[in-house]
């Protein structure tokens, strides 16, 4: 029996019932709400990125829940995303329609397997150039660069020393500002 692939139109018709839906290559995925630590890190990192990008007129930073339509059958909701100034036209009223420059996923117990597996593969498949994986428990941020069809390690924030990660080389990330509890 052939599997029915859902489209963005099917996804958009879902009820607004408080669930977190995504469309992974035509399959509907539902995940629970993120834990509070995830949300604290999301707010802190999102604010740092937003401040850096807007003061330098580099583009736009958006936070979840923002639909990122990568194809007719793939709609993801990264925790944070950055679209560079030259490609702001991919931001429409309904969504980001195309691959942003950077997606950021913050791991939680309920989403880590998906973020590190399925979503990582989908971001690569659809040409997202940069992927940051944030691990609040380990207090690390790994910057991955898309090279061909796979990801290469491009930088890491770990420990208590401030660091810079691509693709934003002027942004100094202070761990104390990100991991505060």
Rounded Cα distance, 76 and 95, in Å: 10
Is 80 part of a structural domain of the chain? yes
Q: HSE on the CB side for 119, CA within 13 Å?
A: 28
Q: How confident is the model at residue 181 (pLDDT cuts 50, 70, 90)?
A: low
User: Is residue 4 a part of any domain in this protein?
Assistant: no
Judged by average pLDDT, the poorest of 103-107, 131-135, 137-141, 176-180 is: 176-180
Q: In whole angstroms, what is the distance from residue 181 CA to residue 171 CA?
A: 22
Cis? peptide before 154, omega within 30° of 0 = no
Residue 96 placed within a domain: yes
Q: Is residue 18 part of a domain?
A: no
Q: Nearest 5 degrees, angle CA 96-CA 110-CA 180? A: 80
Q: Record the pTM.
A: 0.94
Whether 30 and 19 have beta carbons less than 8 Å apart is answered as: yes
Does residue 92 belong to any structural domain of this protein? yes
Segments forming the whole domain that contains residue 89: 33-178
Query: For residue 79, what pLDDT band results from cuts at 50, 70 and 90?
Result: very high
Rounded to 5°, angle at Cα 67 from 61 and 72: 130
Q: Identify whether 22 is part of a domain.
A: no
Token pair for 27: 């399959």
Is 135 within the bounds of a domain? yes
The number of distinct structural domains making up the chain is: 1
- pLDDT for 3 beyond 80: no
pLDDT at position 90: 98
**Order of strands, edge to edge, in the sheet holding 27-31?**
27-31, 20-24, 74-76, 68-71, 96-97
Residue 41 belongs to a domain with what CATH number?
3.90.1570.10
Residue 47 domain-assigned (yes or no): yes
- The string of pLDDT tens digits covering residues 10-66 is 999 998 888 889 999 999 999 888 889 999 999 999 999 999 999 999 999 999 999
Q: Which residue has the tokens 């991919």?
A: 90
CA distance 112 to 159: 21
pLDDT digits (tens, 9 = 90+) for 125-164: 999 999 999 999 999 999 999 999 999 999 999 999 999 9
**What confidence score (pLDDT) does residue 32 get?**
81
- Indicate if the alpha-carbon torsion angle 114, 116, 117, 122 is positive or negative: positive
Q: Which two tokens stand for residue 173?
A: 């990330």
């Amino acid at each position: 029996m052939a599997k029915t692939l859902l489209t963005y139109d099917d996804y958009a018709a879902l009820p607004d019932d408080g669930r977190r839906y995504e469309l992974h290559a035509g399959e509907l995925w539902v995940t629970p709400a993120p834990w509070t630590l995830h949300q604290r890190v999301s707010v802190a990192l999102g604010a740092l990125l937003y401040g850096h990008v807007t003061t330098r007129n580099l583009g736009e930073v958006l936070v979840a829940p923002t639909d990122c339509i990568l194809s007719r059958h793939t709609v993801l909701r990264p925790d944070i995303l950055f679209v560079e100034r030259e490609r702001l036209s991919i931001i429409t009223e309904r969504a980001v329609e195309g691959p942003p420059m950077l997606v950021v996923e913050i791991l939680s117990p309920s989403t880590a397997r998906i973020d590190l597996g399925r979503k990582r593969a989908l971001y690569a498949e659809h040409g997202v150039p940069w992927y940051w994986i944030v691990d609040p428990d380990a207090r690390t941020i790994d910057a991955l660069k898309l090279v061909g069809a796979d990801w290469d390690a491009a930088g890491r924030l770990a420990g208590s020393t401030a660091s810079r990660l691509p693709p934003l080389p002027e942004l100094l990330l202070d761990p104390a500002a990100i991991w505060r509890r």
